[in-house]
């Protein structure tokens, strides 16, 4: 181990995704001694829609990552395209107020950029380390216990003034330190499946477009990313997975056939990677029961994937949490009061977009709504663009940027 884990850190962060990695970068730049753990070795693939809305440019600027993203070969996204089983198509243009596009960028690339910059800022990045639980002393979380596969599976204890759970929706730390409640109790259980594709037919996947291809009970989202690849990320009822006995290609053949646009894309593409899957996709929020720990990203709360806000919200969530972690390090207030203040700030910032994305989800999994709307040739695209815009913050102007 190239660093001393016997001395307490200021902050230990479990999970090096967008929320955890961006938080580690911010805190390390401010002078905090930060440990960032993740079970993966980077770069790594992750199930994700791989689309960032135009407002993400602002947070990327504040992280000092905007130029790196511009050099990454990302796909500029200017348009959202909805297609239905009845072959209806509804399109709308979108950009930021200063003309900046959305961003099609693979999680492998973006997460790796965050890790590189966090490490350069002084964060101790510990890869292939899986957190098994919190260290609790006198009823307060004071660090984590992890097991590193790279170190022969030996246990590793990291103590810190502040612990942050950022390991995603199935977090071990959240299960052991907090309470999670679902915000979508009556929705059928959903699962996600993602695959990178080569799509040679430009008509099947128009450039600069994020596609939402509706099928019964779910959708297939498509987005071009760097390297000429297309990300296909579907959200479907878990019952479909059981019906096809977990055979994902057969499931895709059957379900995607219900939508002509998606069926054409699937029939003409060449898979570039294996499927990645995740079960138990739902909208939920968590609250810690113990002091000493904050939640970030999906550990704090999730949003409907159909709204295309997951990646941007994770980056903004890390930004929202950072000042509360800093306040805890200097003991500006009791930890319990800081936890409450952070939860209030998080809900004030994100609850509106969560509600709107939930409404967006309910509308779009009923394709007849889009079929009906598509009859209004002028009004429908304006309503789609307005609805898309309402789920986002108004981006700050990026002076001097293209």
| pLDDT per position as a tens digit, 246-274 | 899 999 999 999 999 999 999 999 999 99
| pLDDT band with cut points at 50, 70 and 90 for residue 6 | low
Q: Do 115 and 101 fall into the same domain?
A: no
Do 17 and 111 fall into the same domain? yes
* Least confident window among 251-255, 301-305, 332-336, 363-367: 363-367
- Structural domain including 193 reads 51-105+188-281+366-396
Bridge partners for 102 per DSSP? 77
State whether 27 and 146 are in the same domain: yes
CATH number for the domain harbouring residue 161:
3.50.50.60
Q: What DSSP designation does 150 have?
A: G
Q: CA dist 107 to 51, 80, 165, 212, 240, Å?
A: 9, 20, 19, 19, 26
Give the phi and the psi of residue 151 in degrees, each rounded to 5. -105, 30
Indicate whether 402 pLDDT > 60. Answer: no
Q: Which residues in 249-269 are b (16+ Cβ under 10 Å) and which e?
A: eebbeebbebbbbbbbbbeeb
Q: Examine the domain organization and report whether 235 and 318 are in the same domain.
A: no
Same domain, residue pair 204 and 259 = yes
Q: What is the pTM of this model?
A: 0.90
Indicate whether 394 pLDDT > 90.
no
Domain match, 155 and 71 both: no
The answer to whether residues 223 and 309 belong to one domain is no
332 falls within a domain: yes
Q: Is residue 259 part of a domain?
A: yes
pLDDT of 387 reads 60
Does any domain span residue 140?
yes
Residues 174 and 199 in one domain: no
| Whether residue 161 sits in one domain with residue 31 | yes
pLDDT value at 2 more than 60: no
Q: For Cα atoms 35, 37, 40, give the angle at the middle one, nearest 5 degrees.
A: 150
| Cα separation, 345 vs 322, whole angstroms | 12
- Whether residue 194 is found in the same domain as residue 234: yes
Q: What is the per-residue pLDDT for 352?
A: 86
Is pLDDT above 70 for 377? no
Q: What average pLDDT is seen over the chain?
A: 88
Residue 151 predicted with pLDDT over 60: no
Distance between CA 188 and CA 196 in Å, rounded? 26
The answer to whether 236 and 190 are in contact (CB under 8 A) is: yes
Please check whether residue 1 lies inside any domain of the structure: no
Listed residue (133, 158, 66, 132) closest to 103, CA to CA: 66
Asked if the bond preceding 390 is cis, omega within 30° of 0, the reply is no
In this predicted model, what pLDDT tens digit does every residue of 271-312 receive, in sequence order?
Answer: 999 999 988 777 888 999 999 999 999 999 988 776 678 899
**Taking the alpha carbons of 255, 259, 262, 265 in that order, is the dihedral positive or negative?**
positive
Do 61 and 166 belong to one domain? no
Whether pLDDT at 96 is above 70: yes
The reported pLDDT for the residue numbered 399 is 40
Number of domains observed in the structure of the chain: 2
């Amino acid at each position: 181990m190239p660093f001393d884990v016997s001395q307490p850190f200021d902050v230990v962060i479990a999970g090096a995704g967008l929320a955890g990695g961006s938080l580690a970068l911010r805190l390390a730049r401010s002078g905090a001694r930060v440990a960032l753990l993740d079970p993966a070795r980077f770069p790594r693939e992750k199930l994700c829609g791989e689309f960032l809305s135009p407002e993400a440019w602002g947070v990327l600027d504040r992280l000092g990552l905007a130029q790196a993203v511009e050099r990454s070969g990302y796909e500029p996204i200017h348009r959202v395209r909805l297609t239905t089983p009845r072959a209806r198509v509804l399109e709308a243009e979108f950009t930021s107020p200063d003309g900046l596009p959305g961003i099609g960028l693979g999680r492998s690339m973006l997460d790796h950029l965050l890790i590189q910059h966090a490490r350069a800022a002084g964060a101790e990045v510990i890869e292939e380390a899986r957190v098994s639980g919190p260290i609790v002393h006198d009823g307060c979380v004071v660090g984590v216990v992890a097991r590193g596969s790279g170190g022969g599976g030996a246990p590793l204890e990291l103590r810190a003034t502040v612990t942050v759970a950022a390991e995603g929706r199935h977090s071990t730390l959240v299960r052991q330190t907090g309470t999670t409640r679902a915000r979508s109790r009556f929705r059928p259980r959903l699962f996600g499946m993602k695959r990178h594709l080569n799509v040679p037919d430009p008509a099947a996947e128009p450039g600069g477009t994020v596609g939402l291809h509706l099928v019964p009970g779910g959708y297939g989202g498509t987005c071009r990313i760097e390297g000429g690849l297309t990300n296909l990320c579907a959200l479907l009822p878990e019952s479909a997975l059981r019906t096809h006995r977990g055979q994902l290609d057969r499931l895709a053949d059957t379900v995607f056939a219900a939508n002509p646009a998606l069926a054409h894309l699937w029939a003409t593409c060449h898979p570039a990677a294996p499927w990645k899957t995740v079960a138990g996709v739902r909208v939920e929020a968590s609250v810690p029961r113990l002091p000493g720990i904050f939640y970030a990203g999906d550990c704090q709360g999730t949003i409907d994937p159909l709204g295309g806000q997951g990646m941007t919200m994770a980056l903004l969530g890390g930004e929202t949490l950072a000042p509360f972690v800093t306040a805890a390090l200097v003991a500006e207030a009791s930890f319990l009061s800081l936890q409450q203040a952070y939860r209030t700030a998080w809900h004030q910032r994100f609850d509106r977009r969560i509600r709107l994305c939930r409404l967006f989800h309910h509308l779009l999994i009923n394709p007849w709504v889009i079929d009906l709307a598509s009859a209004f040739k002028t009004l429908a695209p304006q309503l789609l663009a307005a609805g898309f815009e309402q789920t986002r913050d108004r981006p700050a102007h990026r002076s001097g940027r293209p």
